[in-house]
Amino acid sequence: MTQPNPSTALARAVADEMARHGVSFAVISPGSRSAALAIAFDQHPGITTRVVLDERSAAFWALGNARATGQPTVVLSTSGTAVANHLPAVIEADQSLVPLIVISADRPPEMLHVGANQTIDQVGLFGNRVRWSCNIGPAQSGVDHNSYWRSTVSQAVARALGHGSRPGPVHLNIAFREPTVPVEDDGRSAADPYPFTVEGKPGDGRWQEHLIAPPGAAAIEVPVGARGLIVAGEGDYGPEALLAAAAKLGWPVLATALSGLRGDSTVSTYHHLLVSGVPASLTPEMVVTIGRTGPSDRISALTSLEGVQISIDRWGNWNDPRRQATLLLQADPVATIERLSSAASVDPEWAGRWEAADRSMRVALDEAIGVGEQPTGSSVARALSDCAWESLVVASSMPIRDVDAHTLHRGSIYANRGASGIDGLVSTGLGVAAAGSRTLVLTGDLSLLHDGNGFIADQLPDVVFLVVDNNGGGLFDLLPQATHAPGFDRLFVTPHGRHLATYADFHGLNTDTLSSIGGLVPELEQRLGAGGCHALVIPVDREADLKRRQALDEVARSLVTSLS
């Protein structure tokens, strides 16, 4: 079938081959040079599109959707600084192994390096932060490019999913000559029709298939009856299968929030159990860490113990921030633990000792938090345990630390922890929610303000934003700056003085402010079930919040003393 011009042919082939490879969601920011791509993706029946004004926010929308679905998601933009705005999300995708596909439209070669408007050197723009990049030149009416275009898309998707390396972002930079709309003559420029087919393989087949064979189990020698412990972090493994293997082995599982393993069969209060180091009665002889361990620095009390320290990651990430691991494995974590369980004898008392300590600590913390009192970050995070969300997106700084310490509900928890920035939180949450689950986004006030442009989209999904408003950055109250930095509030806390309910109203959210924790869970349940985009703002006093954290640590120290 003849296409009206070469640029339209190129864009339609790219969009169609992306859909054949499972790409079903694309986030578009407006622009002229990217017009052919925007039209092709938007008109493809297998792809859902969202239009987001801010390219930085658009990339985080795509990142969130890829996180939630596990499938590559496209973000596309026009030329110039537009594509440069994708860098923060590319960095996060790089560090968090998210299959983000960045497609940037570019000017043709004859417009480069001559001062043409909206033109920069886009080739290799993201450096080594992408798994793969490719520059596709302009389509020409006299050349059959179909196999080139489609095989390039096949490789881009494969690379994003980890073919040849690890999952992560890829970059396709595609140059277009005008016209970039589906006509031969747009009134400003003209081109001959593209006479060659741009059809894909019959039966919706992919131009090229790829297969990534998963790694198997690694052989580890474990002394008979050894008291070991598993720290389940954020990584690529089957959570439920890991629990079953650990139960056979007789080892306790410390479940970080991002492991998705919170529940009765795991230890979740480790942040407070380790308040003064590792209690003597709970000291393991070997520690196996799976993936990234999360935001609690206290976990290092375990991962820095002398003895056997094993780090396992399916994709070979070097997860050893304290440089204490004695063995780092690129292997299937579950298969490796299953292999251990077939060789080691079970000590029936060892796991029970950790589980009993966890239960006692949870009771003590719940009593000290006091859910009916003045709202604090701790009480908000604890209340989320009683709410039926399916996906929870959590901001960096204090929110993820509070969730890691206090939220028990088992579900999918996402946090942009790769580089620990607050950037893109709103858009990541919207991208996750667009995947269709009951999504709750827990954010602080600064994260909300930093990425408010994420709300400027053609359509918002069903989602609830829960905003802990302490008028600044509460994390800094726990850091040396609070004591030693001149100009502490202005330079670090950065109080903004904005009325967040008014801000949320401006973006069209269904907004309310809550002054107590007591009604939080019913309010969240009602809004999660109602559909639409909502914001609940909970004002939190920074000083009271800091005192509550200190009090919880004192409660923990008292209980740990009784365990030793």
Q: What is the CATH number of the domain that holds 119?
A: 3.40.50.970
Q: Which domain holds residue 51?
A: 6-190
Q: Is 381 part of any domain?
A: yes
Say how many domains are in the chain.
3
Residue 536 forms beta bridges with which residues? Answer: 466, 512
**pLDDT at position 559, please?**
92
Do 310 and 389 lie in one domain? The reply is no
Do 307 and 377 lie in one domain? The reply is no
Say if residues 484 and 429 touch (Cβ distance below 8 Å).
no
Tens-digit pLDDT profile for residues 380-435:
999 999 999 999 999 988 899 999 999 998 889 999 876 767 889 999 999 999 99
Q: Measuring CA to CA, how many Å separate 237 from each of 98, 124, 398?
A: 15, 32, 27
**Residue 528: CA atoms inside 13 Å, Cβ hemisphere, count?**
21
Q: Is 198 part of any domain?
A: no
Q: How far apart are CA 518 and CA 89, in angstroms?
A: 36
Higher-pLDDT residue of 92 and 419 is 92
Determine the average pLDDT of the residues in 488-517: 82
- Predicted TM-score (pTM) of this structure: 0.92
Do 130 and 272 lie in one domain? The reply is no
Residue 171 forms beta bridges with which residues? Answer: 102, 133
Q: How large a percentage of the chain has pLDDT more than 70? A: 95
Query: What single-letter amino acid sits at 552?
Result: L
Q: How far apart are CA 460 and CA 67, in angstroms?
A: 18
Do 39 and 143 lie in one domain? The reply is yes
**pLDDT at position 205, please?**
93
Provide the terminal-to-terminal Cα distance of the chain, rounded to the nearest Å: 77
Peptide bond into 179 cis (omega under 30): yes
Domain end: 316, 336, 357, which one? 357
Q: How confident is the model at residue 96 (pLDDT cuts 50, 70, 90)?
A: very high
Do 173 and 238 lie in one domain? The reply is no
Tell me if residue 440 falls in helix, strand or coil. Answer: strand
Element housing 241 (H / E) = helix 239-249
Two tokens, residue 60: 């985080």
Q: Is 271 part of any domain?
A: yes
**pLDDT at position 344, please?**
63
Element housing 558 (H / E) = helix 542-563
- Residue 30, pLDDT > 90, answer yes
Q: Is 216 part of any domain?
A: no
50-77 burial code (b ≥16 CB/10 A, e <16): bbbebbbbbbbbbbbbbbbbebbbbbbb
Tens-digit pLDDT profile for residues 548-564:
889 999 999 999 988 76
Domain end: 308, 327, 357, which one? 357
Q: Is 219 part of any domain?
A: no
Q: Is 63 part of any domain?
A: yes
Do 305 and 169 lie in one domain? The reply is no
Q: How confident is the model at residue 345 (pLDDT cuts 50, 70, 90)?
A: low
Two tokens, residue 114: 């001559």
**pLDDT at position 564, please?**
64
Q: How far apart are CA 376 and CA 160, in angstroms?
A: 40
Determine the average pLDDT of the residues in 523-533: 94
Say if residues 273 and 556 touch (Cβ distance below 8 Å).
yes
Residue 465 forms beta bridges with which residues? Answer: 441, 535
Q: How far apart are CA 538 and CA 465, in angstroms?
A: 11
Do 179 and 300 lie in one domain? The reply is no
Two tokens, residue 357: 């300590």
Do 449 and 492 lie in one domain? The reply is yes
Q: Which of 268, 237, 271 is nearest to 253 (CA)?
A: 268
Q: Is 384 part of any domain?
A: yes
**pLDDT at position 542, please?**
79
Element housing 513 (H / E) = strand 510-513
Q: How confident is the model at residue 114 (pLDDT cuts 50, 70, 90)?
A: confident
Do 40 and 153 lie in one domain? The reply is yes
In the chain, DSSP finds a helix count (H) and a strand count (E) of 20, 17
Do 260 and 335 lie in one domain? The reply is yes
Q: How confident is the model at residue 371 (pLDDT cuts 50, 70, 90)?
A: low
Do 411 and 315 lie in one domain? The reply is no
Q: Is 292 part of any domain?
A: yes
Do 97 and 31 lie in one domain? The reply is yes
- Quote the distance between the C-alpha of residue 449 and its chain's center: 19
Tens-digit pLDDT profile for residues 445-494:
889 988 999 999 999 999 999 999 887 666 666 667 766 567 766 666 67
- Residue 224, pLDDT > 60, answer yes
- Residue 171, pLDDT > 80, answer yes
Q: Which of 408, 398, 368 is nearest to 552 (CA)?
A: 368
- Residue 526, pLDDT > 60, answer yes
Domain end: 333, 357, 381, which one? 357
Two tokens, residue 437: 């689950």
On average, the pLDDT of the chain sits at: 89
CATH number at residue 268: 3.40.50.1220
Q: Three-class SS string for 347-412?
A: CHHHHHHHHHHHHHHHHHHHHHHCCCCCCCHHHHHHHHHHCCCCEEEECCCHHHHHHHHHCCCCCE
